[in-house]
Amino acid sequence: MAAITNSSTDYSFLNKVKAEDKTKNDVGQLGLDDFMSLMTTQLKNQDPLKPMDNNQMLAQIASFAQVTGIADLQSSFSNFASTMQSNQALQGSSLVGKTVLFPSSVGYMTAADGMKGQVNVAEKVTDLKVTVYDEAGKKVRTIEMGTASGFTPFTWDGLDDNGEAMPEGAYQFKATGTVDGANTAFATGIEAQVSSVSISSDDGLYLNIEGIGSVAFSEVVEIT
């Protein structure tokens, strides 16, 4: 009499097939016809004295459905991510040559354009000023701005306090003013031109700024 394969072995067979298919396809995505064929074969070859338990059968089907769902979801997200990355590349290419404003205390001054930026003043301030420092930390210019509130623009023409032209390069800006009699520091934003863009699959779009480096597109507050 031929040996009869019992149900526990059949379950192992299904699990093995799913595991092998998962290794082959990364997500174990069997076709529905394949799955039903395996299930039918299992039912035909089960031990009549130990038939397949209904709960175990449902568990097998649920497991298959779950794996298939995950595969579909992964595929959908993969397609979505590719579309988003393509859109970012298109968006990024249109930014090359544009001037952007982003939070920073360091800017790159050119002889032709000087340097522009903004001071973020949340409330009314008096004696507002922006002090410019070179890369060695030496003070080269103080820009007096008086009384201000809100986003207050400033311009540095590239000259020091003596009217001498400073060399092109990176400079640091510090904004201070008086609020209710107390000396207070304020955040600054710098305007700069986008020289190129780069896209990271993990972190998104980055703008490359001459003399500054990479700035995340999410940090940009204004484009002109």
**Which structural domain, as residue segments, surrounds residue 180?**
99-223
Residues 18-33 have pLDDT tens digits of 455 544 444 444 555 5
Tens of each residue's pLDDT in the chain, 224 residues: 333 333 344 444 445 444 555 444 444 445 555 655 665 566 556 544 444 565 665 566 556 556 555 555 455 445 545 655 666 666 677 889 899 999 999 999 988 889 999 998 878 899 999 999 999 999 999 999 999 988 999 999 999 999 999 999 999 999 999 998 899 999 999 999 999 988 776 777 889 998 889 998 889 989 88
DSSP H helices, the chain, are 7-25, 32-45, 54-93
The answer to the question of residue 104 being in a domain is yes
Tokens representing 58?
Answer: 């449902």
Q: Which residues contact 106 (CB under 8 A, 6 or more apart)?
A: 170, 171, 172, 173, 190, 212
The answer to the question of residue 167 being in a domain is yes
Question: Is the same domain home to 210 and 104?
Answer: yes
**CB of 159 within 8 A of CB of 165?**
yes
Question: Is the same domain home to 112 and 212?
Answer: yes
The answer to the question of residue 115 being in a domain is yes
Residue type, 206: Y
pLDDT at 73: 43
Question: Is the same domain home to 106 and 140?
Answer: yes
Say how far apart CA 198 and CA 136 lie, in whole Å. Answer: 30
What is the tally of structural domains in the chain?
2
**DSSP-derived 3-state class of residue 188:** strand
Question: Is the same domain home to 44 and 68?
Answer: yes
Say how far apart CA 203 and CA 216 lie, in whole Å. Answer: 8
The answer to the question of residue 33 being in a domain is yes
The answer to the question of residue 2 being in a domain is no
Question: Is the same domain home to 56 and 79?
Answer: yes
pLDDT at 224: 86
Q: What is the pTM of this model?
A: 0.60
CATH value at residue 114: 2.60.40.4070
The answer to the question of residue 1 being in a domain is no
Question: Is the same domain home to 104 and 43?
Answer: no
Question: Is the same domain home to 13 and 64?
Answer: yes
Question: Is the same domain home to 128 and 212?
Answer: yes
